């Protein structure tokens, strides 16, 4: 029966678009962090929205569940099938057309499988900025970005994937196509269906295209690295920049000393230009539509004020584009350095800024006392209160063994602290299968039941990414 289903699919889509050999399927069956590996009946590669709809209809009829997959760069195992071997992986990578750039409306209409960086480049070619920016932008797809409501380094100024999306095209669990590709900025016509699908990680529908916002490309950008002694000073610095630079502030990233030590171990060419190994290195970017001189002057005057207020102790302004790129590469490569180091325990959390200093101090103290020698790789989009509060094994200890033994108690400790400080256990990476079990306690009973009600209503057969985000 299952074999017949696959043969039928291959007959309608073409054999080369229905992968069944182990070696062909392998790259789709393990996640980026190599934490989750599953099995699949087939990996299916449709070439159009119509084909996606046709596949979903066939799956609904045969009661076969579907795991949508974009660039497979997510961190919570949402795009990896289970071990049954009865699910199909539906890769969106062939839906990769830019449908339209509408200069008057400042929007770009793209298919779900477009690589994020390609969209940025296409927009830039028309002198526009598509501001979503992640370390994975060379591989992740806009459909995956929307399905996870990705954040990244520009949220502070432009918002996350949800904020950048005006319209969406979705294949429902019944195989119907919802053409919601209106690029309207105002549309108060009842329930916001678009926002329901964004962030649903493939559990409510399959995103096949979207209308995304564009912005004028800034004419000047200045990037600086700044040294601070603690988080309280860092938050004060953010506040100062927000007051003085207002919308010119486009990046505010924090890197704690231990994260840069790990970075230098794996990427020795990425040494911190700031002297004396500061406790926190802050990457700040200002962007302007007026002139280089205007934004440079502003940056210098804010830094002078911060020095006078003693909230920073040192600063280096990038002298050219390649140094600015190096600063950003430092920030983006921390994740890569961590994976080079071996298994690690990631906690993508957000905490109200006002409580961040106390949260970090207390949580660092508790972890170091209970798990001596652990390395706390803290960095993140501080401007959004988003901290990647990651834990690596003590130097010289087998990272795999450490992660297996201590994942649960370390996670419990950190998430209990997150609850205490009224934060979130998933700021931007989503839930996937990794955080399925902790979601209920975190959301609370009422919100969790509402989520279940939605899932049951939209996907009564539970064929769309079952046991991801929510179990029904």
Ligand X SMILES: Cc1cc2nc3c(=O)[nH]c(=O)nc-3n(C[C@H](O)[C@H](O)[C@H](O)COP(=O)(O)OP(=O)(O)OC[C@H]3O[C@@H](n4cnc5c(N)ncnc54)[C@H](O)[C@@H]3O)c2cc1C
| Residues at the contact surface with ligand X, assessed by CB under 6 A | 32, 67-75, 78-79, 92, 112, 134-136, 140-141, 143-145, 147-148, 150-152, 201-202, 206-207, 335-336, 428-429, 432, 465, 468
228 or 335: CB nearest ligand X: 335
Round to whole Å and give the CA distance between 253 and 130: 19
203 or 233: CB nearest ligand X: 203
- Least Å distance, CB 301 to ligand X, is 30
- Least Å distance, CB 122 to ligand X, is 17
The residue with its CB nearest to ligand X is: 144
32 or 130: CB nearest ligand X: 32
Percentages of the chain per state (helix, strand, coil), in multiples of 5: 40, 20, 35
Torsion of CA 435, 33, 466, 410, to 10 degrees: -20
Round to whole Å and give the CA distance between 3 and 124: 46
- Least Å distance, CB 420 to ligand X, is 24
- Least Å distance, CB 186 to ligand X, is 26
- Least Å distance, CB 91 to ligand X, is 8
What are the residues whose beta carbons fall under 8 Å from the beta carbon of 445, sequence distance 6 or more? none
**Other CB atoms closer than 10 Å to residue 259's CB: what's the count?**
27
- Least Å distance, CB 389 to ligand X, is 14
207 or 226: CB nearest ligand X: 207
Per the document, the length of the chain is 472
183 or 380: CB nearest ligand X: 380
Axis-axis angle for helices 436-443, 399-420 (nearest 10): 10
* Torsion angles phi and psi, residue 176, rounded to 5: -90, 155
Round to whole Å and give the CA distance between 98 and 112: 10
Does residue 227 contact residue 310 with C-beta atoms inside 8 Å?
Answer: no
Round to whole Å and give the CA distance between 200 and 345: 24
- Least Å distance, CB 31 to ligand X, is 7
92 or 284: CB nearest ligand X: 92
65 or 287: CB nearest ligand X: 65
């Amino acid at each position: 029966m299952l074999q017949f289903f696959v043969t039928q699919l291959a007959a309608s889509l073409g054999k080369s678009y229905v992968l069944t050999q182990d070696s062909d399927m392998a790259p789709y069956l393990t996640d980026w962090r190599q934490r989750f590996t599953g099995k699949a009946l087939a990996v299916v590669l449709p070439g159009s929205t119509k084909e996606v709809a046709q596949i979903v209809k066939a799956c609904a009829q045969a009661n076969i569940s579907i795991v949508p997959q974009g660039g497979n760069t997510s961190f919570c195992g949402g795009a990896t099938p289970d071990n049954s071997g009865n699910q199909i992986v539906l890769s969106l990578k062939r839906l990769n057309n830019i449908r339209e750039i509408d200069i008057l409306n400042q929007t770009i209409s793209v298919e779900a499988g477009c690589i994020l960086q390609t969209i940025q480049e296409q927009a830039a070619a028309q002198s526009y900025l598509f501001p979503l920016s992640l370390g994975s932008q060379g591989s992740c797809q806009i459909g995956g970005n929307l399905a996870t409501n990705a954040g990244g380094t520009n949220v502070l100024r432009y918002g996350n994937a949800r904020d950048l999306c005006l319209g969406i095209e979705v294949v429902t669990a019944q195989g119907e196509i919802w053409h919601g590709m209106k690029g309207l900025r105002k549309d108060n016509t009842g329930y916001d269906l678009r926002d329901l699908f964004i962030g649903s990680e493939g559990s409510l529908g399959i995103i096949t295209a979207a209308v995304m916002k564009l912005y004028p490309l800034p004419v000047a950008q200045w990037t600086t690295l700044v040294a601070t002694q603690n988080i309280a000073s860092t938050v004060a610095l953010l506040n100062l920049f927000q007051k003085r630079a207002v919308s010119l502030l486009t990046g505010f990233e924090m890197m704690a000393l231990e994260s840069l030590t790990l970075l230098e171990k794996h990427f020795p060419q990425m040494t911190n230009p700031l002297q004396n190994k500061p406790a926190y290195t802050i990457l700040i970017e200002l962007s302007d539509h007026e002139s280089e001189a205007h934004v440079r002057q502003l940056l210098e005057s804010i830094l002078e004020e911060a020095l006078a207020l003693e909230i920073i102790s040192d600063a280096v302004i990038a002298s050219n584009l390649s140094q600015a790129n190096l600063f950003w590469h430092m920030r983006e490569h921390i994740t890569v350095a961590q994976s080079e180091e071996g298994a690690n325990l990631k906690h993508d959390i957000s905490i109200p800024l006002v409580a961040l200093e106390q949260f970090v101090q207390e949580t660092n103290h508790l972890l170091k006392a209970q798990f001596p020698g652990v390395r706390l790789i803290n960095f993140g989009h501080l401007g959004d209160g988003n901290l990647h509060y990651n834990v690596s094994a003590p130097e010289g200890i087998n990272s795999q063994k450490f992660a297996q033994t201590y994942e649960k108690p370390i996670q419990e400790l950190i998430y209990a602290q997150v609850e205490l400080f009224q934060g979130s256990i998933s700021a931007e990476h989503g839930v996937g299968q990794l955080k399925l079990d902790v979601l209920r306690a975190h959301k609370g009973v009422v919100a969790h039941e509402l989520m279940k009600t939605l899932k049951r209503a939209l996907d009564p057969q539970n064929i769309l990414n079952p046991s991801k985000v929510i179990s029904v």
